[in-house]
């Protein structure tokens, strides 16, 4: 086994974008710690086995990123098992049913904001503390969205939560920069994932609509996100921080 580039944590790693990111970072030479909720433990364990087959170390950490104690425990466990944390990818997120704001419940609002915004905040905070303690810099990367650049009707909580990630990313970049820690986020457009299929009535029609809107006439795949995260996690991205980078096939231009 070649020497590791360090250890990366990927939250929401059981499927879709998180899974692709974890595999790509393993290919890049990182040991990868995997997080998701308890009902996805079997998927996490399968992914960990795949990563080990690539010659990298991997571990699974069940927990809810919206719960402070879960995040603190995860960071502590990873730091002890893998001798530190070098990359944090705060990828975990949920989306809600399409419904007008006038019909959207406070409970649903809180659930989405807790995972998508509070969860990213907690991952940024505790990964940042660990990286500062280590004194060797690091990379913190969060998940925003095309809806964090341009809000959509019937997506009030999701849009607000993904706008929040942009603000968190900018603040954290300024606070952690003196410690050689960069903080960036990715803003996916339409990506062909299980989560995308779960929130539209006709996934095939949705894919076709999104393809037609893109100048590339394509819909994204999880590996597209993984390629961007691979760069943001690398030494080559050392002069990029505080950015939320659109990766949407040209659905709109920043």
Catalytic residue ranges: 158, 162
Q: Are 248 and 220 in contact (CB under 8 A)?
A: yes
Phi, psi of 139 (to 5 degrees): -130, 125
Q: Are 147 and 155 in contact (CB under 8 A)?
A: yes
Rounded (10°) CA dihedral 53, 126, 184, 27: -10
Assigned token pair, 234: 């690398």
Distance of CA 33 to the CA centre of its chain: 13
């Amino acid at each position: 086994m070649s020497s590791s580039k360090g250890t990366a944590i990927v939250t929401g790693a059981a499927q879709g974008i998180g899974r692709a990111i974890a595999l790509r970072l393993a290919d890049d030479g990182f040991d990868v710690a995997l997080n998701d909720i308890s009902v996805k433990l079997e998927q996490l364990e399968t992914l960990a086995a795949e990563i080990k087959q690539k010659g990298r170390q991997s571990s699974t950490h069940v927990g809810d990123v919206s719960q402070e104690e879960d995040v603190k425990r995860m960071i502590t466990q990873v730091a002890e098992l893998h001798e530190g944390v070098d990359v944090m990818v705060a990828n975990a997120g949920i989306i809600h049913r399409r419904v007008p704001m006038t019909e959207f419940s406070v409970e649903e609002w809180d659930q989405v904001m807790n995972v998508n915004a509070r969860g990213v905040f907690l991952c940024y905070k505790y990964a940042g503390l660990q990286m500062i303690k280590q004194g060797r810099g690091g990379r913190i990367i969060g998940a925003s969205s095309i809806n964090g650049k341009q809000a959509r009707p019937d997506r009030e909580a999701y849009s607000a939560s993904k706008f929040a990630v942009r603000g968190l990313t900018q603040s954290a970049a300024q606070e952690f920069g003196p410690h050689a820690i960069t903080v960036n986020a990715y803003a996916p457009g339409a990506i062909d994932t299980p989560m995308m299929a779960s929130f539209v009535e006709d996934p095939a029609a949705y894919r076709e609509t999104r393809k037609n809107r893109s100048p590339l006439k394509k819909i994204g795949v999880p590996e597209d996100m993984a390629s961007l995260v691979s760069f943001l996690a690398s030494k080559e991205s050392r002069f990029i921080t505080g950015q939320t980078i659109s990766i949407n096939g040209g659905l709109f231009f920043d």
